[in-house]
Amino acid sequence: MAHGATDEVADLVAKLGAVARVVTEAPDGPLGRAFSVRGVPALCLVDPAGTVVASGSEMAGLPTPADVSRT
């Protein structure tokens, strides 16, 4: 998740968009509130069933999934 105006987060979205689905919204957006985002970028690892299995603000802090294919 990237909070901010589209032009402010464009570089981050471009970098992460190559390997993940990226959501951009205003700092007070509903998704950030729903997940209690405290900082950006906010990263979540979601399993095939749609359950958030890990979260953090750095890629290095998330487990490496066995299958990173995008559907």
- The whole-number average pLDDT for the span 1-11 is 83
Q: Residue 3's pLDDT is what?
A: 79
Return d(Cα 70, Cα 26) in angstroms, integer.
26
pLDDT in tens, 23-61: 888 878 898 888 888 777 778 888 889 888 888 888 788
Where residue 66 falls among pLDDT bands split at 50, 70, 90?
A: low
53 by DSSP, 3-state: which?
Answer: strand
